[in-house]
Structure 1
Amino acid sequence: MSERGAGWSCRQPGTFQELRPDRRGFSWLSPKVLWRSRNEILAQLFGDPSDQVRRRWVAARRESGADPDFRIRPKVGEAYDFLVIGDTGEGDASQYAVVPGLLKIGEGTAFAVIASDVIYPTGAAGDYDDKFFRPYQDYPAPIYAVPGNHDWYDGLGGFMRVFCDAPALQAERQGFSLSPAGLRGLLWRRPEPIDEDRLAKAGQRRARPGQRAVQPGPYWVMDLPGLLLVGIDTGIRGTIDAGQAAWLRRVSADPRPKILITGKPIYDRNEYHPCPIEGGGTVDDIVRDPAHNYVAAIGGDTHNYQRYPVRVGDRVIQYIVSGGGGAFMHATHTIPRVDAGGVHEDDFKCYPLRGDSLSFYSQLYATRFRMPWLKITPDEGLLLMSRRIGNTPPRPVGTAATHGTTAAPATPPGPVPASPPERCGAPGSAARPARITTRLKLAAAVLGGRPMPFRLPVGRTFHRWFSELSDWDTPPFFKNFLHLSVRDGTLRIRCFAATGCRPQELEPPMEDEVAIPLSPPAAGG
């Protein structure tokens, strides 16, 4: 994991700001945004209706003549490349910062897939212009997607209209009852009416013949040479219905190697989330079945990169979190020493590194709360987290430059000035070796980098509602996307960083890579 990928030495912000329609940010502190997003809480309290609504969408798609197996057959050769981007659609600086590097690395790719949360906060069709069509208007190939929980806050109406060209479902009127469903219905947010003229105008940004794609439904299987790409819809709460499960088992019976694309990761933050199936069983039971020949499972929802190589019998399945495609960064420094699924800490990979995550949050909160004693330099963060986790620092200490609280003024596009980067310490100060002090230990504990009963909010629960405090409008952004290639019987998955800095736009740094042989399952297994 490189210092370039962290972007600490950023002296020249990228050109991504020129792509944005305006400089407005995205705020979860807005009462209007919170109220529009209330379906998450209602689903937790009174049950998730996604399974019932999904069945209606699937029935409507089949009635319209969609492929019965929801199969996509793109035109690709024996060797091909594609992109996977997760949790993209906030429409602010952190989303647009990913675009230049994505276009650079994505040259020649056959298609892209968005894994989870295409549009924040509620998946409404009216938000697709600035959060989907505009940022990806210059990507020349088709884009497919699997929905995330935020796309479901609109009943999946915007998602189905854009990706499946499906008309809205007829509203169902139900009388009030004291059942959980009845109580949920009192406050449940209904889908917004779609302004078809506005949506059609937005769609013109991606109207070139090579960009057009209509997928058959919210879940699908993509038929590729030597590989199946299987996308599932996990609704709001991370489950699938019995009908989707029967479809998943059916398409998984094909002996070809497979990659699962899911809205919720199966391994995340050293925890196991196998994805329950309505009526019993789990999605991971299907993935682990050796006859189904899954080689990887990629999920969004968590806004960073993690990779867990899990041994299942005599093979290894790569379980990947890749949700850093645009939304604010979820901390990695709160991930404990990894042992989930039998994965050894030394085999686990994440971006940003835990030490960079700790340093980022220390500087963010030191600035927001005017508490300078919280500041932890990148080198200090690496040492603190290495001591806590019990591993060797994953990057040589002494290579990271200090990140100030604001980015350098924008300069014209071109090579970065050749001045040497600053070393850890105050901006402009002489380099000093990183060492662990009592102040650093206390700061790390308050920030969640060490065990402590009280800590500042860096976890998922807080960020779901108050991500404004962790939203950063200047580089580095710690975003990521995946480039996947199939060549000569080998699948190669590479994670690229997007920092928002001009040098990384020109040459996006690769932060992780894994090569997977593609072969049929062993006889009898």
Structure 2
Amino acid sequence: MARHPHPKHGFGQLRPSQNPPHPQQSPLFEGSAFQPLPAPTGASPFRLDLDAIVPDAVAAARKAGGMAFHMVGDTGGVKDPNPQLLVAAGLEHDAGVAGKFGAPAFFYHLGDVVYFDGQAQEYVPQFYDPYAHYPLPIMGIPGNHDGDVFDDGTRTNPLPSLATFVRNFCAATPGTHSPDAGEASRTAMIQPNVYWTLNTPFATIIGLYTNVPEGGVVEDDQVAWFVGELKAAPKDRALIVALHHPIYSLDTYHSGSKPMGTLLANSFASAGRSADMVFTAHVHNYQRFTIADADGNGVTPYFVAGQGGYHNLHKVAKVNGQPLITPYAVPGQAGVTLNSYYDDRFGFLRLEVSPEEIAVSTYTVPRPQEPWDQVPTLFDTVRFDWKRRRIVTGA
């Protein structure tokens, strides 16, 4: 039977009932229209095996009985590079930390790699240079800024949406050196499409592309593909869904997206299979929610992880002028609980996945005015029994 992890009504903009915030619309999003998707560079159904990227790490993960990887979004340091550099330094440090299942194997990006319009000339300062010493492959999904069409007013034919993202993340052959990489040694990733599935020994990660308009737009062909991938996902592995626009958010700037919530709920129902965890970005802070399953037998963790380095952090709403105290049952949203958040620092996530659990450790990095040699600080940790759909521990 299909699970319906969303409440039946109102899973869009989550706001406290007292002193509700009034989200501002950034001028960056005014007039941002849906953009046609580029042609895939790989064959349908757009799957990539992790073995093809890091075979040694996959072999080590199988031997260890689990795997680790990094995740965060909204990293581009367009106006102030320091937050992004601090997060990159934290990721570099953690890449050498051997946890329960060894060191992380890769970094999965949740979108908005390059601000403000995915320009080719910004890939060196906002992507290749910051991660020059990060030793792991970087893959992921595009965000709205990666899909915006750049036109400086002098070009009669701007590049089509996502053209530069495709050149750097969706190369047709391994070992391709992107013309946007400058002197960087990192080669382009070989994702088969801008929406795609990563197959690993312990988790299936389905990445959606939610396009440019605020709140996200996903057309029917991608929805049909998504339902098919949900059905095809092996049931003996955890199922993770990633998309840029968040379904749930208590920030005062963007808030959550009702269309994306409807998309997931309907797709999960059609497939008879729902995600074990959902990861989003777009909002520039960290938030962790649990959403009660409709049958009352479990929960689904939903994350906002947009604290990856873009300088402008988004504040979480207050009630009567006071910060929210977690766990916070969201008013008017049955079964929706904000479990943890931070909105005053930057950081990243480390996931550890096994046949029984998904553990998510959330780190902060120093503020730019603090000593840069500090190691990342563990802020939040949660272990989720994905077979029983229960939080084992969470602090």
Question: TM-score normalized by structure 2?
Answer: 0.71
Q: Does 1:67 align with 2:73?
A: no
Distance 2:147 2:350 in 1: 27
Distance 2:277 2:373 in 1: 28
- Aligned counterpart, 1:375: none
Aligned structure 1 segments of 4 or more residues deviating by more than 6 angstroms: 501-504
Q: What secondary structure does 2:125 align onto?
A: helix
Aligned partner (choices 251, 275, 279) of residue 259 of structure 2: 275
- Aligned counterpart, 1:88: 75
- The code of the aligned residue for 1:111 comes to F
* Contact 1:163–1:215 (8 Å) recurs in 2: yes
- Aligned counterpart, 2:171: 165
Q: CA separation of 1:288/1:318 partners in 2, compared to 1, >3 Å: closer, same or farther?
A: farther
Distance 1:101 1:485 in 2: 17
Q: CA separation of 1:49/1:290 partners in 2, compared to 1, >3 Å: closer, same or farther?
A: closer
Q: Does 1:222 align with 2:198?
A: yes
Q: What secondary structure does 1:113 align onto?
A: strand
- Aligned counterpart, 2:313: 330
Aligned partner (choices 311, 335, 339) of residue 292 of structure 2: 311
- The code of the aligned residue for 2:281 comes to G
- Aligned counterpart, 2:19: none
Aligned residues: 311
- The code of the aligned residue for 2:358 comes to L
Distance 1:197 1:343 in 2: 46
Write out aligned runs for 1:25-174 (5 A). 40-43=29-32, 48-50=33-35, 53-54=36-37, 57=38, 60-61=39-40, 66-75=42-51, 76=58, 77-78=61-62, 79-91=66-78, 92-107=81-96, 108-154=103-149, 155-165=161-171
- Aligned counterpart, 2:218: 240
* Contact 1:116–1:300 (8 Å) recurs in 2: yes
**What's the CA shift string for 1:331-354, capped at 9, x where partnerless?**
434255543443576x521013xx
**What's the CA shift string for 1:233-291, capped at 9, x where partnerless?**
000121211011001000001234311111111101175524359xxx52233347793
- Aligned counterpart, 1:206: 186
Q: What secondary structure does 1:158 align onto?
A: helix
* Contact 2:47–2:199 (8 Å) recurs in 1: yes
**Percent of aligned pairs sharing the same letter:** 25
Aligned partner (choices 175, 190, 207) of residue 231 of structure 1: 207
- The code of the aligned residue for 1:351 comes to Y
Distance 1:275 1:349 in 2: 24
**What's the CA shift string for 1:79-103, capped at 9, x where partnerless?**
2111012100124111112121111
Q: CA separation of 1:294/1:276 partners in 2, compared to 1, >3 Å: closer, same or farther?
A: closer
1:309 positional shift: 0.8
Distance 2:117 2:250 in 1: 25
Q: Does 1:350 align with 2:364?
A: no
* Contact 1:480–1:496 (8 Å) recurs in 2: yes
* Contact 1:126–1:198 (8 Å) recurs in 2: no
- The code of the aligned residue for 1:348 comes to N
Q: CA separation of 1:288/1:112 partners in 2, compared to 1, >3 Å: closer, same or farther?
A: farther
Write out aligned runs for 1:346-385 (5 A). 348-352=339-343, 357=344
- The code of the aligned residue for 2:222 comes to Q
- The code of the aligned residue for 1:298 comes to F
Gaps of 5+ in 1: 1-33, 168-195, 358-477
Q: Which has the higher strand share?
A: 2
Distance 2:178 2:300 in 1: 45
Q: Does 1:516 align with 2:384?
A: yes
Aligned partner (choices 275, 278, 281) of residue 300 of structure 1: 281
- The code of the aligned residue for 1:82 comes to F
Q: CA separation of 1:197/1:273 partners in 2, compared to 1, >3 Å: closer, same or farther?
A: closer
- The code of the aligned residue for 2:90 comes to G
Gaps of 5+ in 2: 1-25, 52-57, 97-102, 150-160, 390-395
* Contact 1:164–1:214 (8 Å) recurs in 2: yes
* Contact 1:332–1:350 (8 Å) recurs in 2: no
Question: TM-score normalized by structure 1?
Answer: 0.55
- The code of the aligned residue for 2:334 comes to G
Distance 1:290 1:198 in 2: 40
Q: State the superposition RMSD in angstroms.
A: 2.8
* Contact 2:238–2:355 (8 Å) recurs in 1: no
- The code of the aligned residue for 1:492 comes to A
* Contact 2:291–2:336 (8 Å) recurs in 1: no
Distance 2:304 2:186 in 1: 28
Larger Rg: 1
Distance 1:328 1:113 in 2: 20
1:488 positional shift: 5.2
